[in-house]
Amino acid sequence: MGDTVIKVENLWKEYRLGVVNHNTLTRDLQSWWSRILGKDDPNSIVDGRPQTSGRFWALEGVSFDVKKGDVVGIIGRNGAGKSTILKILSQVTTPTKGVVRFNGRIASLLEVGTGFHPELTGRENIFLNGAILGLSKANISKKLDEIVAFADIEQFLDTPVKRYSSGMYVRLAFAVAAHLDSEILLVDEVLAVGDIAFKKKCIGKMGEIGQCGRTIIFISHDMTQINSLCNKSILIDNGKLLDYGDARTITTKYLDSVNDLVEIKNPNIRSAIPANFKKGPKIESVSISDTKGNLKTCFTSLESIVVNLKIRPELSAEKQFSAVWFLHDHSDAQIAVGASTPMDTTTYPQSTTCLSCVINPISLLPGSYRLRFVFHIPYHEMFDDWPNAIRFEIIESDVNQTGYSYPGIWSAQQYVQHKWK
Amino acid sequence: MDTGSKKTWDKVITPRNGWFDLHLDELWKYRDLICLFVWRDFVSIYKQTILGPLWYIFQPLLTTIVFTFVFGNIAQLPTDGMPPFLFYLSGVILWKYFSDCLVGTSNTFVNNAHIFGKVYFPRLTVPVSVVISNLIALFVQFVLFLIFYLYFLINSVLIHPQPAIVLLPILIIQMAALGLGFGMIVSSLTTRYRDLTHLVSFGVQLWMFATPVVYPASSFPDKWLWILSINPMAPVIETFRYAFLGAGSIDLQSWLTSIVITIFVLFAGIMLYSRVEKTFMDTV
């Protein structure tokens, strides 16, 4: 294995909650003066609660090593401490305790387009942004054509960026970032912006960087991205490092643990039934399982999903109703639909208390998906609409038993069974 | 992991900075960034203005005309026998450089919080670029001063350039250091005490009246002279006027005192600044 290029030892980070200090000079001086005189601090909290109570540890003793050429994904729930680690590594803030050692030049991308000035032209901003990220002027000049081509903004190069569309702005910003030549790259979830085509281009570029033997540390909530880009992964929860190892093993473990948590509820019981719909049957809860009846929220491609709905029956003038499901991907695009309508020769009486639907093998590529349910009489009455009924993950699987699986980075959402001859 | 081997690391991050962490080498590495910040400040201020960089000239020129009228003609303040216009112009230009450096630097942390929170580069680049940006303005304004100076020199017997003119670079460096030092002290403190932001522009205005900008030091009442002796800007302006216009004198003792104060302020500024720069993101 290569050399260790980042060595993180016992990293602790404390944040103070609430008011950091008195925020006015006179009061601080008052406190300081009374401390010198040995008096009680006139500004201390009266009920005797010690002032240290408003502190919290964002990181608690995190240690890890990263070797040269590793692409490490940091995963964990919101607030687990992922960003704090990246902030310390990129020297935006300091650790409270602990040491980090580096070998090689570091560049960090906690945000794209840092320091862009709206009045300056695209060209000027490329230089400014590049310099902020640590590139020398000569270096940027050398790469200028490449950056401009990558961002696809040739005609607007000498227009102030305040006139750019937001898409152009982001493309330009990422183009600069993608051409950083540092040996270590720290990337926050910057890929969350931009249109899908550009996103793919960026991920491709990052993959390229990774293959050049550069070290990347990467935060993402998108497990398929982690799986396709990273060879290692760090799992963090509540400021503690839970696991560090092979990316696929860790992401699977993380998804399993997430499934146990409240984030994806299965069955998902509705907290409140909306009152803005017509009198009629309402969904109380939903659960999904495999064909054997095991509740789960992680499926592989080509696996059937069984949906079970519990319904609070409510009779309206109509005697029947139809149920519809919509399938959305993580970018919220609606990618599939299925319905019980007169066309499908299935409608239900309004006294129904439970419904089930077997969705035949969906050949989805890995990613996060959600189901939406609608109860209605087509073109006539709307009884219920539950947009975020349930979420599930499609994880990578070896559908063709070839020893390989389809990565989640392709712009397609579906895998269709096919045969080459 | 290769334990035991004495490895050298390019960079080590530890919890706290020392009191005096200057890293001039790092600052030098980022000299391109300083240039670009200067360029950004220059370009962005004058975009979409009709007069553009001409404002560099108009501002001190109009101020000087008003000062000449108000303080010279109406209030009839003495100018030590120097031509009033040159007297005020020199004071205005020098004071403007100092106060622009101070005010510009004092906003460093609060104004750049969004950049500082996202990417690391030597934080000192920002105040240094402010001082350099203002140096460009000073240069343009100094050329303006020279034009009027030569005009008066040819037409008037009132001014006598002194050999002390060679001290000009030192005076400029001293003003830059003073503005930078005070600015860094203020900007470090504003991360905790926002009150100071209100105080600065107001305080600088008042400070001008405690400095011989619109009057010569010789007309200052004797029992208040101590104010001028602790004001590090006073000897700078006095020395400049003496060197170029030949009135008054260099008071070596007070000038040396002001240089000592300047060095002290600069070091205090750098100390506070390097203390604050690493953790201010958590408090700002």
Q: Does B4 touch chain A (CB under 8 A)?
A: no
Q: How far A238 CA lies from chain B's nearest CA (Å)?
A: 19
Please, what is the average pLDDT of chain A?
79
- Would you say residue A81 has pLDDT above 90? no
For residue A390, the number of C-alpha atoms closer than 13 Å in the C-beta half-sphere is: 26
Nearest to A77 by CA among A234, A238, A228: A238
The residue of chain A with its CA nearest to that of B42 is A120
Instruction: Indicate the SS3 state at residue A285.
Output: strand
Helix B84-106 and helix B233-245, axial crossing angle in degrees, nearest 10: 150
Q: Does B15 touch chain A (CB under 8 A)?
A: yes
- Would you say residue B4 has pLDDT above 50? no
The residue of chain B with its CA nearest to that of A15 is B282
- List, in order, residues 6 or more apart from B246 with CB less than 8 Å away: B159, B160, B161, B162
H-helix or E-strand spanning residue A256: helix A247-260
CB contact under 8 A, B9 and A7: yes
pLDDT tens, position by position, B214-259: 888 888 888 888 888 889 999 999 999 999 988 777 788 888 999 9
Nearest to B187 by CA among B93, B113, B90: B113
Q: Which residues of A touch B13 (CB under 8 A)?
A: 88-89, 91, 94-95, 99-102
Amino acid A270 reads R
Q: Does A121 touch chain B (CB under 8 A)?
A: no
Higher pLDDT, A406 or A276: A276
Q: Report residue A21's pLDDT band, with 50, 70 and 90 as the boundaries.
A: low
The residue of chain B with its CA nearest to that of A136 is B32
Q: What is the mean pLDDT of residues A278-305?
A: 86
pLDDT tens, position by position, B182-206: 999 999 888 877 778 788 888 999 9
pLDDT tens, position by position, B77-117: 888 888 888 999 999 999 999 999 999 999 888 888 888 88
- Would you say residue A22 has pLDDT above 60? no
Q: How far A100 CA lies from chain B's nearest CA (Å)?
A: 5
Distance CA B278, CA A92 (A): 7
- Tokens 């995190």 belong to which residue? A62
pLDDT of the residue at B64: 94
pLDDT of the residue at B269: 92
CB contact under 8 A, B10 and A133: no
Higher pLDDT, A83 or A414: A83
Helix B125-155 and helix B55-67, axial crossing angle in degrees, nearest 10: 60
- Would you say residue A57 has pLDDT above 80? yes
Q: Does A231 touch chain B (CB under 8 A)?
A: no
Q: What ipTM goes with this model?
A: 0.82
pLDDT of the residue at A79: 75
Nearest to B39 by CA among B130, B139, B175, B140: B130
Partner residue opposite B119 with nearest CB, options A96, A114, A127: A114
Please, what is the average pLDDT of chain B?
86
CB contact under 8 A, A101 and B121: no
Instruction: Indicate the SS3 state at residue B122.
Output: coil
CB contact under 8 A, B9 and A94: no
What predicted TM-score, i.e. pTM, was given to this entire model?
0.71
CB contact under 8 A, A136 and B40: no
pLDDT of the residue at B76: 87
Number of H helices, E strands in chain B: 13, 1
Asked, as a colleague might, if the bond just before A267 is cis with ω within 30 of 0, I would say yes
pLDDT of the residue at A317: 76
Q: What is the mean pLDDT of residues A17-27?
A: 56
Partner residue opposite B192 with nearest CB, options A21, A92, A128: A21
Distance CA B110, CA B108 (A): 6
CB contact under 8 A, A104 and B189: no
DSSP secondary structure code for residue A160 in this structure? B
The residue of chain A with its CA nearest to that of B197 is A24
The residue of chain A with its CA nearest to that of B126 is A132
- Tokens 């009839």 belong to which residue? B76
**Beta partners for residue A243, in sequence order:** A235
Nearest to A278 by CA among A315, A236, A224: A315
Q: Does A103 touch chain B (CB under 8 A)?
A: yes
Partner residue opposite A137 with nearest CB, options B32, B114, B189: B32
The residue of chain B with its CA nearest to that of A29 is B193
Q: Which residues of A touch B12 (CB under 8 A)?
A: 99-102
Partner residue opposite A128 with nearest CB, options B12, B36, B281: B36
Chains A, B: CB contacts within 8 A come to 120
Nearest to A225 by CA among A85, A330, A296: A330
Partner residue opposite A99 with nearest CB, options B13, B43, B117: B13
User: Strand ranges (DSSP E) for A34-182?
Assistant: 55-67, 71-75, 97-102, 106-109
Report the range of poorest mean pLDDT among A180-194, B50-64, B149-163, B236-250.
A180-194
Enumerate domains of chain A plus CATH numbers.
68-260 (3.40.50.300), 268-395 (2.70.50.60)
- Would you say residue A221 has pLDDT above 80? no
DSSP secondary structure code for residue B185 in this structure? H
Q: Which residues of B touch A18 (CB under 8 A)?
A: none
A281 touches A377 (CB < 8 A): no
CB contact under 8 A, A133 and B43: no
Q: Does A134 touch chain B (CB under 8 A)?
A: yes
- List, in order, residues 6 or more apart from B163 with CB less than 8 Å away: none
pLDDT of the residue at A264: 63
- List, in order, residues 6 or more apart from B262 with CB less than 8 Å away: B174, B177, B178, B181, B232
Q: Does A139 touch chain B (CB under 8 A)?
A: no
Highest-confidence segment of A113-117, A333-337, A353-357: A353-357
Tokens encoding A403: 């020893």
Q: Does A316 touch chain B (CB under 8 A)?
A: no
- Choose from B123, B282, B283 for mutation: most chain A CBs within 10 A: B282
Number of H helices, E strands in chain A: 8, 19
Amino acid A320 reads Q
Q: Does B47 touch chain A (CB under 8 A)?
A: yes
The residue of chain B with its CA nearest to that of A87 is B118
Q: Does A24 touch chain B (CB under 8 A)?
A: yes
Q: Which residues of A touch B27 (CB under 8 A)?
A: none
Q: Which residues of A touch B279 (CB under 8 A)?
A: 93-94
Nearest to A336 by CA among A294, A377, A307: A307
What is the dihedral angle through the alpha carbons of B98, B100, B101, B107, rounded to the nearest 10 degrees?
Answer: 140
With a CB-CB cutoff of 8 Å, which residues 51-70 of chain A face chain B?
A: 65
Pairing of strands A240-246, A232-237: antiparallel
Nearest to A85 by CA among A60, A102, A103: A60
- Would you say residue A197 has pLDDT above 50? yes
Q: Report residue A262's pLDDT band, with 50, 70 and 90 as the boundaries.
A: very low
H-helix or E-strand spanning residue A323: strand A320-329
A358 touches A366 (CB < 8 A): no
Report the range of poorest mean pLDDT among A34-43, A136-145, A351-360, B155-164.
A34-43
- Choose from A10, A119, A129 for mutation: most chain B CBs within 10 A: A119
Cα A399 → chain centroid:
26
Distance CA A239, CA A236 (A): 6
Partner residue opposite B13 with nearest CB, options A3, A88, A127: A88
Instruction: Indicate the SS3 state at residue A417.
Output: coil
